[in-house]
């Protein structure tokens, strides 16, 4: 919800503070920093106004964020990827450092990338399949080996621990039982009745506990974001640490 204010709210004031070496004192901030704080605070309040009800201020902030983040992403990709990886190797004289050598091979990925854009033209959209075929084939090729070795086998191995009459053994038993019951729940080739139904029912309980833990962490995360915004409003913007001793970031 606070996304539209984030770029200006979180980046501008602290970044300017750090760059200028200024303290958090209001009077020591450069005027751009001050403007940034006020714009960020305004946008934060615009976003918080949605708590009351949907309104034009919220809409403005929301659309502003989408525009800014899309433009920001485009700039980053243009300067850090497209230019050094495609333009400079193709046209070395455009590289201001003159460090890039001519590399005509970049034309091949360039053409493949261009094919994806042809999805916008229905008659030529089929050309994009060539790129996707290349991409899917390549990704699958190196993903299968790495996923088996880096994900499947270590996770499988960690489930198979020795059982014993110790606390660790009990933990291992719970882990094994949980993994087994949840796998049974996701086994759809047999009807979940009788013993199968009971085991899958236990699987649901394990899943519910996992979802509960996940929900608890989610609440913690959302509260943390709210605290971050409040700290910004109370201290970066309103400077209430001057009135309340001991408060501040």
Sites of contact with other proteins (CB under 8 A): 2-3, 6-7, 9-11, 14-15, 18-19, 21, 51-52, 69, 72-73, 76-77, 80-81, 84, 97, 99, 139, 142-143, 146-147, 149-151, 154-155, 157-158, 175, 210, 213-214, 217-221, 223-231, 234, 240, 244, 246-249
With vertex at residue 152, the alpha carbon angle to CA 148 and CA 155, rounded to the nearest 5 degrees, is 145
In angstroms, give the least distance from the CB of 164 to other proteins. 17
The total number of residues written for the chain in this structure: 249
DSSP letter for each residue of 103-162: -GGGHHHHHHHHHHHGGGSGGGGGGHHHHHHHHHHHHHHHHHHHHIIIIIHHHHHHH---
Residue placing its CB nearer to other proteins in the complex, 12 or 192: 12
Reported as half-sphere exposure (CB side, CA atoms, 13 A), residue 208 has a value of 6
Comparison of 21 and 194: residue with beta carbon closer to other proteins: 21
Q: Residue 122 or residue 137: which is nearer to other proteins going by CB?
A: 137
Residue 155 has a CB neighbour count (10 Å cut-off) of: 10
Count Cα atoms within 13 angstroms, Cβ side, for 102. Answer: 3
**Token pair in block for residue 137:** 């084939």
- Least distance in angstroms from the C-beta of 105 to other proteins: 15
Alpha-carbon distances of 234 from 53, 229, 241, 246, rounded to whole Å: 23, 9, 8, 13
Residues 45 and 24: their CA atoms lie apart, in Å, by 21
Query: To the nearest whole angstrom, how small is the minimum distance from the Cβ of residue 60 to other proteins?
Result: 19
| Least CB distance to other proteins at residue 126 (A) | 26
In angstroms, give the least distance from the CB of 128 to other proteins.
Answer: 19
The residue among 52 and 188 lying less far from other proteins, judged by its C-beta, is 52
Closer residue to other proteins, CB minimum distance, 125 or 230? 230
**N-to-C CA span, the chain:** 23
Return the residue matching tokens 């919220």: 58
- In whole angstroms, the minimum distance from the beta carbon of 189 to other proteins comes to 25
Closer Cβ to other proteins, 189 or 214, answer by number: 214
């Amino acid at each position: 919800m606070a996304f539209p204010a984030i770029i200006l709210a979180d980046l501008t004031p602290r970044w300017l503070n750090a760059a200028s070496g200024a303290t958090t004192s209001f009077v020591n901030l450069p005027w751009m920093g001050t403007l940034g704080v006020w714009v960020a605070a305004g946008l934060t309040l615009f976003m918080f106004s949605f708590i009351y009800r949907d309104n034009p201020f919220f809409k403005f902030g929301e659309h502003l964020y989408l525009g800014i983040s899309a433009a920001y992403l485009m700039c980053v990709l243009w300067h850090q990827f497209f230019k050094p990886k495609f333009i400079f190797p193709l046209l070395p004289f455009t590289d201001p450092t003159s460090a890039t050598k001519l590399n005509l091979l970049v034309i091949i990925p360039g053409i493949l990338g261009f094919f994806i854009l042809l999805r916008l033209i229905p008659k030529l959209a089929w050309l994009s399949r060539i790129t996707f075929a290349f991409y899917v084939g390549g990704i699958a090729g190196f993903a299968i080996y790495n996923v088996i070795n880096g994900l499947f086998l270590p996770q499988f191995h960690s489930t198979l621990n020795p059982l014993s009459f110790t606390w660790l053994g009990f933990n291992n038993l719970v882990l094994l039982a949980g993994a087994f019951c949840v796998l049974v729940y996701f086994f759809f080739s047999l009807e979940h009745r009788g013993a199968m139904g009971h085991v899958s029912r236990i699987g649901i309980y394990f899943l519910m506990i996992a979802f509960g833990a996940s929900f608890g962490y989610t609440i913690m995360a959302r509260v943390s974001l709210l605290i971050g915004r409040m700290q910004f409003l109370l201290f970066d913007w309103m400077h209430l640490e001057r009135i309340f001793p001991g408060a501040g970031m």
